[in-house]
């Protein structure tokens, strides 16, 4: 019998677990793992963590300190299970504040070092706003690797690559959500999926212009989207979809390859060009703003939980 689809995918794409669930990471053995405020909230709500969370909350100087301590503790546990990168996100509240993002990112790296985790294995996640991209540019020059998230189009991706970021996470499923809400009867299967098409454009642009920035498709709604992007540099996948792939068999064809690209010189864009291009893309504008709000909503839930435990 042929290898399962997950095994085949791992032969052409670096598989990343999109979770803070330690048991899922042990089961699927990904190379990397990503977290975000929503995933940290899910992990923090596990009953077995409550006592430790209470200790962290009471030892912290304030809620921000407690939030970072929780994120780094979970990230440090994950780092012991994967050989590659672990992504940890700067607060979405700072998405439009470059200096505050820089301070928070450096604090996270310092905290990881105190946990004995090599900073070279950490990707600091920042929203793909102009301010987030500028923070990433400074951090990369300092040797701090970055993962630019909440990405919905090639113009955001171009700005990130121009800034020299290590990795970008274009969102597939949320792009599909936007289009389905407007065309509920349309057929968006396979290559017709607008989220899949967006990641392909970004991948081809990066390979065609000689960018070294890693493309990692994210936010999948179904395994068909993953299959359509087989061969992408990295794909970050939820435990549910990892399980589906692990239980499925058949031939998985490679869909993306850097050998198909013809290299051309990069075409940097300035702030005005970036903001205008984002403004012209209604989907990217709306989903970026919505994504920031959703991450903050879950962060506030975690803040409330930690605040209650501090009073404990």
287 annotated active-site: no
Classify each residue of 132-160 as buried b or exposed e, where b means 16 or more C-beta atoms within 10 Å of its C-beta. bbbbbbbbbeeebbbbbbbbbbbbbbbbb
Q: Determine which one of 10, 125, 207, 287 is catalytic.
A: 125
- The 3-class SS string of 196-220 reads HHHHHHHHHHHHHCCCCCEEEEECC
CA count, 13 A, side-chain hemisphere, 174: 22
DSSP string, 98-164: HHHHHHHHHHHHHHHHHTT--GGGEEEEEESSHHHHHHHHHHHHTT--EEEEEE-SHHHHHHHHHTT
- Give whole-number Cα distances, 199 to 169, 261, 309, in Å: 9, 14, 41
Catalytic positions: 125
């Amino acid at each position: 019998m042929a290898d399962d689809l997950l095994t085949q995918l791992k032969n052409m794409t670096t598989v990343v677990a999109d979770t803070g669930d330690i048991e899922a990471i042990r089961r699927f053995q990904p190379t990397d793992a990503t977290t975000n405020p929503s995933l940290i909230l899910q992990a923090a709500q596990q009953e077995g963590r409550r006592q430790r969370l209470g200790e962290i909350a009471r030892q912290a100087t304030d809620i921000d300190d407690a939030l970072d301590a929780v994120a780094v503790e979970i990230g440090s546990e994950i780092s012991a299970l994967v050989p590659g990168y672990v992504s940890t996100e700067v607060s979405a509240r700072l998405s439009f504040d470059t200096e505050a993002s820089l301070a928070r990112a450096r604090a996270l790296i310092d905290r990881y070092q105190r946990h004995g985790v090599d900073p070279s294995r950490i990707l600091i996640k920042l929203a793909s706003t102009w301010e987030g991209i500028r923070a990433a540019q400074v951090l990369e020059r300092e040797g701090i690797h970055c993962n630019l998230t909440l990405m919905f189009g090639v113009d955001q991706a171009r700005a990130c690559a121009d800034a020299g970021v290590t990795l970008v996470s274009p969102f597939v499923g949320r792009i599909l959500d936007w289009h389905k809400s407007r065309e509920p009867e349309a057929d968006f299967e396979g290559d017709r999926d607008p989220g899949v098409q967006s990641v392909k454009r970004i991948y081809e642009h990066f390979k065609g212009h000689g960018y070294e920035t890693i493309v990692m498709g994210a936010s999948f709604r179904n395994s068909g989207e993953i299959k359509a992007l087989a061969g992408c540099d990295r794909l970050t996948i939820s435990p549910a979809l990892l399980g589906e792939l692990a239980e499925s068999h058949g031939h998985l064809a490679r869909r993306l390859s850097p050998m198909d690209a013809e290299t051309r010189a990069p075409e940097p864009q300035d702030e005005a060009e970036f903001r205008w291009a984002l403004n012209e893309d209604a989907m990217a504008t709306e989903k970026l703003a919505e994504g920031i709000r959703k991450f903050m909503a879950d962060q506030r839930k975690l803040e409330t939980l930690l605040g209650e435990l501090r009073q404990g």
